[in-house]
Amino acid sequence: MGLLSSVRQLLGITAERTATQGADPDGLFEMSTATLTMEANLGFVPTGEAALCFGDVDSTAFRDAVEEVREILTVGESGTVSEFGEDEYGYQWIVLRAEEFEELVTGIHFTSDTLIERQYGSRLQAAVFPFEASERASLPSGDLAYWIYSFRRGEFYPFVPDGAQSRDRSTELKLASVLDGELTVEDDREYWYPLWPDTPGGRPWE
């Protein structure tokens, strides 16, 4: 039984590594400079929020890993506020709010890196960074555009919802064109998965 248990554990670790080979949280730091281009060149400003989406696991070890993240984010001195929740599809969300964009990137990186270290990287779905259109943007002032980091692909892609269950493809292509080089942008648009909010103008995690 001991040998069989060891083999199963080894196979589990191997499968986890295969599933998360694109899950490099260091890629998130590309957003730190890309946000400057979003504002200066495109007229989109950070909303002061960022979110991490991941699948749930029915295990005590997973709950402990999430609780560890919660405790560290709660006692942090950066001024970042965290909120934990679940959407209607059963996905877990950690939403961060902070005045400094760099603190959002750092917080999302810490959270995802912790889950990867605890062997739950395969549960990571996406990191979501919303931006709001200013008067200089191509969208009406106040409309939202998102940069989404896919952990499975290890790449970013834009998502611009335009009303209920429709998206502004032309703006998405413009964002991808301008930011390509600063962000590792997903080339295959089949992987530009939408994260629809429940209501127009809402957030995917609400």
Domain ranges of the chain: 2-191
pLDDT surpassing 70 at residue 125 = yes
Mean pLDDT of 25-41: 95
Pair 130, 149: CB distance under 8 Å: no
Top-level class of domain 2-191: alpha beta
- Per-residue pLDDT tens digits for 144-162: 999 999 999 999 999 999 8
- pTM metric for this prediction: 0.87
pLDDT of 67 reads 92
User: Which residues are registered as beta bridge partners of 172?
Assistant: none
Higher pLDDT, 18 or 100: 100
Region of poorest pLDDT, from 12-21, 45-54, 181-190: 12-21
Q: Kindly state the DSSP code that residue 161 receives in the 8-state scheme.
A: B
pLDDT at 10: 33
Bin 117: left if φ > 0, else alpha if -120 < ψ < 50, else beta. alpha
**Confidence band, pLDDT 50/70/90 cuts, at residue 16:** very low
- Give Cα separations from 189 to 121, 148, 157, 186 (angstroms): 23, 13, 8, 7
The crossing angle, in degrees rounded to 10, of helices 60-75 and 101-117 is 150
pLDDT tier, 111 (very low <50, low <70, confident <90, very high otherwise): very high
